[in-house]
Chain A
Amino acid sequence: AQSVTQLGSHVSVSEGALVLLRCNYSSSVPPYLFWYVQYPNQGLQLLLKYTSAATLVKGINGFEAEFKKSETSFHLTKPSAHMSDAAEYFCAVTLGTGRRALTFGSGTRLQVQP
C-alpha cells in the first residue's frame, strides 16, 4: 500500500520568502514521488519527480525537493516566493513504471502576500 500526507492545507508566505510545503509518504517498496501544481482553472502540471536517481530533484519555476528515506519525506521548497506561485500543490506517490496509479495527498494551497 502507498499513501502520502501533506501537512498544512493552507500555507501563506510573503513575496520573497522561503516556500516549504511538506510531504511524507508511506510505501512498502521504494517509491516514485511527484509534486504537481494546479493553478486556478487549469489542470495539474508536473513540477518535479523523484524516480530513484539523485535525491535532490530540481523542477520548474525554481522549485526543488529532497527525497529523505530516513524521514520518509519529500518536502517541496523554493528559496524566494513569487506572486505567480500562488496555487494548489499536490504530492503524489506510485510504485513506479505505470504499474500502479498515482496516490495523491490532500493538497496544500499556497498564498503569497505582497
Chain B
Amino acid sequence: EAGVTQFPSHSVIEKGQTVTLRCDPISGHDNLYWYRRVMGKEIKFLLHFVKESKQDESGMPNNRFLAERTGGTYSTLKVQPAELEDSGVYFCASSQVGGANTGELFFGEGSRLTVL
C-alpha cells in the first residue's frame, strides 16, 4: 500500500512568486491534514479536510494560503504571493474516519519550501 506522497520535495522560489504543493493521501483516507514546521520550531497545524470539505482551517496563517481538495482525493496548498516567513517544511498527513480511527496520522516526507 502506498503511503502519503508529497510533491515537490523541495522548492526554492523568490519572494512574491507562487508555489503549489501537492499531497496524495493513503487511498481510502478521508481525513487529510496540512502541517508546517518553520525553522526548527514546533509542527503547527494548518488545516483539516474531511473528504473535500474543510473541517478546520483555523491554523491557516493568512489569505495568501489556499488549500483545496477537489473530489476528496489529493490536495493542493498554494502560497501566493510567497513571503520570506513562509519558508519551512510543509507536511501532509492522512487518516481514516470513524471506528477505525485511533487518532494516528500517517505523514508524508514533507515539502521543503525556501523563499529567497
Q: List residues of A whose CB falls within 8 A of some B CB.
A: 32, 34, 36, 41-46, 49, 51, 90, 94, 96-98, 100-107
State how many angstroms separate the Cβ of A61 from the closest Cβ of chain B. 17
User: B33 to A97, Cβ gap below 8 A?
Assistant: no
- Known contacts A42-B109, A102-B105, A104-B44; 10 additional CB pairs below 8 A are A41-B109, A43-B109, A44-B93, A51-B102, A51-B103, A94-B103, A97-B101, A98-B98, A104-B43, A107-B43
Q: Which residues of B, 85-116, contact A by the 8 Å Cβ criterion?
A: 91, 93, 95-98, 101-110
Q: How large is the interface on B (under 10, 10 to 19, 20 to 34, 35 or more residues)?
A: 20 to 34
Minimum Cβ distance to chain B for residue A25 (Å): 13
Indicate if the CB atoms of B102 and A49 lie closer than 8 Å: yes
Among residues of B, the one whose C-beta sits closest to the C-beta of A9 is B40
B42 touches A106 (CB 8 A): yes
> In the assembled complex, which residues on chain A have CB atoms less than 8 Å from the CB atom of B102?
32, 49, 51, 96-97
Asked if B75 is at the interface (CB within 8 A of a chain A CB), the reply is no
Binding site for A on B (CB under 8 A): 4, 31, 33, 35, 40-45, 48, 56, 59, 91, 93, 95-98, 101-110
Are the C-beta atoms of B56 and A43 separated by less than 8 Å? Answer: no
Report whether B108 and A43 are in contact in the complex, using a CB–CB cutoff of 8 Å: yes
Which of B35, B42, B48, B95 has the largest number of chain A CB atoms within 10 A? B42
Task: Take A104-B42, A107-B42 as given contacts and tell me if A44 and B103 are in contact as well, using a CB distance cutoff of 8 Å.
Answer: no
